[in-house]
Each structure stands twice: as structure tokens, then as C-alpha cells.
Amino acid sequence: MLKLISGGVTAALGFTASGVHCGIRHNRTKKDLSLIVSEQRAAAAAVYTTNLVKGAPLTVTKRHLEDGYASALICNSGNANTCNAGGVELAEEMCALTGAALGLPAADVLVASTGVIGQPLPLEPIKAGIPALVAALSPEGSTDAAEGIMTTDLAKKEVAVEFTVGGKTCHLGGIAKGSGMIHPNMATMLVFLTTDAAIAPAMLKKALSTDVAATFNMISIDGDTSTNDMVVVMANGMAGNAEITKEGADFAAFMQALNTVTTHLCRTIAGDGEGATKLLECRVSGAADEATAKACAKSVVCSSLLKAAMFGADANWGRVLCALGYAGAAIDVDRVGVSFRSPKGTVEVCRNGAGVPFSEEEAKKILLEKEIEILVTLGMGDAEATAWGCDLTYDYVKINGDYRT
């Protein structure tokens, strides 16, 4: 039995979190420093950006996770600590300061940063803010932590589920940030997940790596793969289930819970794209294999022309076929079908690779909704995949035209 619950990243037993303003960001109403702590040392795993330009915190976190365990994670917003001289040393110092305040080894602290690239990150506000950050730790601190990692995000992103493993009630929750510079090729943005389920580090890594291929890797907002993308999951085992050490029913239950949380975060991230007014979900079915389905779905949500058409509520289905045509997958265009769907209904616009008569007025009503499904059938097999994106608006250019200044 799996159900959505409140609590976000602190829904799991033994986890506390906090978020404060320490002074990295000039706006004092914006939290810019977050902390997540496990009462017990937790199995941990992560996936990272494949961008060759990587933030210093990723180097440090990867090093600290070599033994597969961690106890805490600190993250700042407002500055990415990327392409900075001494950035790795600064990230290590953030871990050391946090560890000292918590009574933990620095190697058990993970670190992340998000914000402007190429600007020096001052350590002083972080050092001054850590005592308040630790003092604010709370089992109800998920929302504060979620706020502390936001940059251009307009909406907090947090979710949690309750599920059963081996007869024990377990919890898995998470927070995320991401609104722009999102076209992941591994994981995405910053996502922090926690669970009280007991699972071996190797199986936790396998679960995360498997899941992101069908969730976070299937998001695109603007085609830019960030330098600081990272997903971290911590599992402290405090639910008391027998440790998951191999595939089977318990691992499948854990995977279902993980996928429920990550899919929810995918949708909230895509729907909160910079300047976005609509969440786009492309569902491809009838593909010859999963790789083809994924390539086609991702190509559609990445199309700037299609994204612009969705902003204008224009049922320009030719842009869908265009995106399918350059997806790099072997498809038979003469078998392709396309429909648009929203809470206002469904309109078929293409069948067997050619247009079909439809009401432009009805299509407009359907596409004016906040959530749009783009349904693509390939007629070549049984494989399917889903990708998420958003519309492309004037505000995206405004936001990124003066992002740094």
C-alpha cells in the first residue's frame, strides 16, 4: 500500500532539516542555506551531471560518498561555486564547519551549491549562518530547506510517500530545486531524497541510477545541462525492515515508492520552468523499443518551436512530427498519430503521418489549460515513454537576460 503524505524530506524517521538566510543572497527575505541531517548514519548514493564543467561541490560530495554512507547534507543557493579558484577547498570547508557544528566527521557531510557560475563564493556568511542553521533543525523543517535551495524557482518542490517493505511501514520523501538550465543527462537540478527504509548502498545506487533514466533524464526546460546537477538519496534504515540486499519484492516496493516521488518532482520542476505557463507531458506509445520511445518523447518536449506553439495554444502538430523526425530514432512517419489532451478534452490532429480535420476552436480551448498532454503513437511495437517540459514564453528571455546582474 503506497500513499502520498506530508513531510517532504523530513517525512522519514530520524531526519531533520532547516533553512535560513545567511547573507549569500542580497534579499534578506530569501533563505539561502539549507541543511538535512539523519539521526543515524545513512546509506547514501548520488548521480551527477555529465557536463564537463562541474561545480566544486560535486567533486567533494563524490569523494565523501566513496564508502556509500553519509549523515548530513548542506546546500547554499545564490552561488554555484563553479569555475572558482579554490572552490573545492571551500566546499570541503563547508563540510568541515557543518560537521563540527553537528559533532560529525567532515567526510560524513555532503555539499551542494546552486546559483550564479563563475563568481567567488564567500565563506564568511556560511560560517556565520551555520549555528542558526543547526539550531533550526526540525522534523518539520522540510519546507524551510526547500526554500533555501531555490533560485529562480517560483514554487517549492517537496513530496513524500508512505509504503510497506517486509511488513514494516517506511517513508520516502524529497525536495528539489530547478526552474532553468534544465536538460539533464544523468540526474537533474538539485534533488535531495531521504528514506527510513533499510537498503544496502549498492542496491540504493542501483535503484537511483535505474529510476533517473526514466524520470529526471526525461525533463527538459531549455536545453541547457547544468554544471551543478545532482541527485542524492540517503537511507537510514530506521523503519526497521530487513535490509534490502538484492532484487525481489522488497526492492520492487522500494522502487515503486522512489518512482512515485521522483515522477512528482519531475512534474513540479517542469511546470515551474522559468517563465513557464504550462506543463507539457509527452507520452509516446507504440515504439519498437524503449530507447526509441525515450528519444522521441524527449525530442518533442525539447522543441523550441513546439514549446512556443503551446504557449500560444496553437495546435501546430507539424512541429511534433518535425521533432520526431530529428530525434535520431528509426520510425515510420506514415504510422505516426498525434493528439493533444487536457482537462478540457482530447483532439486528434494527425493520423498515419497526415493531418485530420479538427476544430481549431476546440483545440484552442484544450491548449489553453495549464497542463497539456501530447500523445504520440508510433505503431511499431509496445514500448512507451514519457517526457516532461514546459512552454517557451517571453518571460524566459527576460529572466535570463539579466540573471547575473
Q: Which residues are catalytic?
A: 188
- CA-to-CA distance for 142 and 11, rounded, in angstroms? 8
Residues 357, 174: Cα–Cα separation, whole Å: 45
How far apart, in whole angstroms, are the C-alpha atoms of residue 10 and residue 338? Answer: 41
- Please report which helix (H) or strand (E) contains residue 290, including its range: helix 290-302
CA distance 266 to 162: 19
Give the CA distances from residue 204 to residues 64, 81, 228, in Å, rounded to whole numbers and listed in that order.
16, 28, 21
Region at 342 (left for phi over 0; alpha for psi -120 to 50; beta for the rest)? beta
Q: How far apart are CA 371 and CA 392, in angstroms?
A: 14
Q: What is the dihedral of CA 290, 261, 71, 252, to 10 degrees?
A: -60
- CB-based contact 219:266 (threshold 8 Å): yes
| C-alpha distances in Å from residue 81, one per residue of 85, 87, 113 | 9, 6, 6
Q: Which residues contact 98 (CB under 8 A, 6 or more apart)?
A: 35, 72, 74, 104, 106, 109, 111, 130, 134
